[in-house]
Amino acid sequence: MNAALRYLWIVARVNGLKAFVRSLKRPRKAFGTLIWVAVLGLFVLGQWLNARQHGAMNLVSGPSLTMFFAVLLVAGTIAGLLQHGLTFHPSAVDFLFPGPFSRRQIAFYRIAALYPITLLSSLVFLVFMSARVTSLARLALALFLLQLVALHLQTACAIVSTALSDHLVRRFRGFGQAILGILVSAAFLVVFFADPPQGDTGVGIGIGSRIVGAFDSETARVVFYPAVAAARLVTASDWSSGAWPLIGLLACVGASLVLAVSLPFDWLEASLATSERAARMLDRARHGAATAEPTGNARAKRILGERWLFAGAGAIAWKNVVTLLRSVRMMVAALLSSAIVLSFVLAFARRDYSSGDPGILARVAPILLLLPVLVQQYLAFDFRRDVERIEELRQLPLRPIVVAFAEVVTPAAAVFVLQLIVGAIAVVVSGLSWVWIAFGAVVLPAFTMTIVVVANLAFLLFPVRAISSGGRPNVGAASVSSILNMLGFGVACAPALVAGFFVFDQWGRAAAAVCVGLAVQILVVTMLLALTGMAFARFDVTRTDG
């Protein structure tokens, strides 16, 4: 590597590490990091205990590993083709593109800059698979080398895609993402509904034997050679029998790197456009806005018309509704993630209960209730996205509690609609009575509103942005905020639950218990709205963590 680029690579990584260590002095960051370490530690412990219990039966098979590694390769290749050029940080664009560096040097720097992340993601996979192999060292090596091949292929595909027009790639990107989304969803449905786990289950998620078997064919061995070599390295009985797969894998790493940096395409211009687009998305995320760029012409007026509902404070809700309607991807993502979680829950519930059994409700109800927590990152069209506009909101001739209500009503309504859709799917799949949907339509709004209000109140009191000012995800701090939200929601719902149980215990009438509980919850949410209004009025606009 060029001396200047080598210096840049080293200094940026060392300074980044120092900055991370320094950030641990902040209690929330330290706590968030601790939680992540604890979660991974618990997972390793669980894996280890499981391995002790099941012994050799627990070991992952070669074809399963080949399939898993092949998925990594294919995902990298598709991601590269959808990228159209390489994505660089704006500072790299400013200094490297007009600098005295060849395209090959810049491409290699870009690849090398991703090696630490590749190593880190290999470690994460290692944690998940550690108890299912005989040699941890061979698994670590195979994972890292295979991920390097995937990274090189992704880079090569991203460079090759610059030969296509940006317009074509953009169209293809949406189509490709949709296909990937459908495939992933279909895989979940097939795995959990059509092909239940049986004996050796691949990488621990019940992969069907027929799918796994396809990766043991001669064709697959040629097409996915790096994956086959990596799997053979992992399943080798010792280092000497794993030597040839290791040599093969190293050759793949070298060949893919040479391919990535030697492609004779002029990718700088396409990469500039891609990098600028990525920088705009990052900037929007940093400021709390949706990451998707608005495209096409505005049609809000046709969608919403001139409604009395959107007068006065309603204007804030109108603004949030318009933003929501223009963020279809967010809504699809929310619906998709809800559907995936629901498919898990229903799959397990159907094993334990027969169709139409109200017992299924005990599994589905908590999902519906906690859906806002799951999807709030997609539908937070409230104070969390307006954090840069707090001063403008304060200038409106409205009382703080009214502003607070107007801000939270849109995401609450959106989540409620989502709850009804997910609930309807659950009713159809599990054969439950539609009366439960009607019941949910009466009860859920107050609780959904509570979750959204608690999330906004917590945000105004302890603001955390998804992306820090340094452009890095605030994962640790965001984890702490999520936990605080959950605790806050539990505390906010406790009075209603206690009141409901008390009424039921005293008079034995479920309808009365529900009505009393609901009334208490509405009272609580009104009080929380008042508190949110106060927090909004006193919010220090200079105080945003990150």
Partner 1 sequence: MIEVSGFSKRYDGTQAVRDLSFTVARGEIIGLVGLNGAGKTTTLRSICGILAPTAGRIAVGGFDITKQPVEAKRRLAYVPDTPHPFELLTVAEHLKFVGLAYGVAYAGERVDALLRKLELHEKRDAFASTLSRGQQQKLAIACAFLRAPDALLLDEPLTGLDPAGMRVMRDAVAAEAARGAAVIVSSHQLELVERMCSRVLVLHRGRLRALGTLEEIRAVADKGADATLEDVFFALTEGAPESPTGVDAERATG
Would you tell me which residues interact with partner 1 (CB under 8 A)? Answer: 2-5, 7-8, 11-12, 15-16, 19, 89-95, 97-102, 166-167, 266, 268-269, 272, 469-471
Nearer to partner 1, 3 or 435 (CB): 3
> What's the min distance (Å) between Cβ of 105 and partner 1?
9
Residue type, 230: A
Alpha helices, DSSP H only, in 215-288? 218-223, 225-235, 243-262, 268-286
> What's the min distance (Å) between Cβ of 23 and partner 1?
12
Within 8 A by CB and 6+ apart from 63, the residues are 212, 213, 215, 216, 231
Within 8 A by CB and 6+ apart from 183, the residues are none
Nearer to partner 1, 105 or 209 (CB): 105
> What's the min distance (Å) between Cβ of 168 and partner 1?
12
> What's the min distance (Å) between Cβ of 94 and partner 1?
5
> What's the min distance (Å) between Cβ of 29 and partner 1?
17
Nearer to partner 1, 16 or 356 (CB): 16
HSE at residue 343, side-chain half, CA atoms within 13 A, is 17
Distance CA 215, CA 70 (A): 8
Helix (H, G, I), strand (E, B) or coil at 31: helix
Nearer to partner 1, 4 or 461 (CB): 4
Nearer to partner 1, 31 or 95 (CB): 95
Nearer to partner 1, 266 or 352 (CB): 266
Contact 111, 151 (CB under 8 A): yes
Nearer to partner 1, 15 or 506 (CB): 15
Within 8 A by CB and 6+ apart from 518, the residues are 442, 443, 446, 496
Distance CA 138, CA 132 (A): 12
Residue type, 254: G
> What's the min distance (Å) between Cβ of 478 and partner 1?
20
Burial class (CB in 10 A: 0-12, 13-18, 19+), 440: buried
HSE at residue 140, side-chain half, CA atoms within 13 A, is 8
Comparing C-alpha atoms, which of 416, 423, 425, 418 is closest to residue 437? Answer: 423
> What's the min distance (Å) between Cβ of 110 and partner 1?
14
